Structure 1
Amino acid sequence: MNHFNRLVSEQMVTMEKLLYLQAELERCQQIEAELQNLQNATNLESVQTDIQQMKKELKEIQQIFEKQTEEVINSYLETNLTHSM
């Protein structure tokens, strides 16, 4: 029985190590997932910043386009008015 008890005792120590390592592995995997989420969040912020910048540029270009359209219309009207006189 001594041999049996020693084997069981060794097996219990091994099981404790196994459970500890499993718990540590799960904890590390959780940390890894959180870090990946944080990295994704950082990338998200970067993309959102890019989107805001593009929206600003788009608005500026739209304003320029509208101004150019007005100038084209005014030029057309002026040309037609001078030719019709």
Structure 2
Amino acid sequence: MDLFNRLVSEQMATMEKLLYLQTELERCQQIEEELQTLQNATDLDSIQIDIQLMKKELKEIQLIFEKQTEEVINSYKETNLTTSI
């Protein structure tokens, strides 16, 4: 019976280690998942900043294009007025 009790005690100690490691593994996997989410959020912030900069640049280029279009139209009108006189 002493052998049986010793084996059961060893098995219980092993079970405690197993449960502890299983709990720790799940905790670490949860932390890993949260860190991956944070990493993705960091990437998202970077992409959002890039998008805002590109939108600003696009708006500036659109304004320049509109101004150039007005200049082309005015130049065309002046050329036609001068030619028709």
Into which bin does the TM-score normalised by the smaller protein fall?
over 0.9
Matches within 5 A, 1:1-85: 1-85=1-85
Q: CA RMSD in A?
A: 0.5
Counterpart CA distance in 2 for 1:32 and 1:25 is 10
Question: d(CA) in 1 for partners of 2:62 and 2:46?
Answer: 24
Q: Which segments of structure 1 move beyond 6 Å, counting only runs of 4 or more?
A: none
Q: TM-score by structure 2 length? A: 0.98
Structure 1 Cα separation of the partners of residues 8 and 73 of structure 2: 95
Please list every run of 5 or more consecutive structure 1 residues that lacks an aligned counterpart in the other structure: none
Matched positions, count:
85
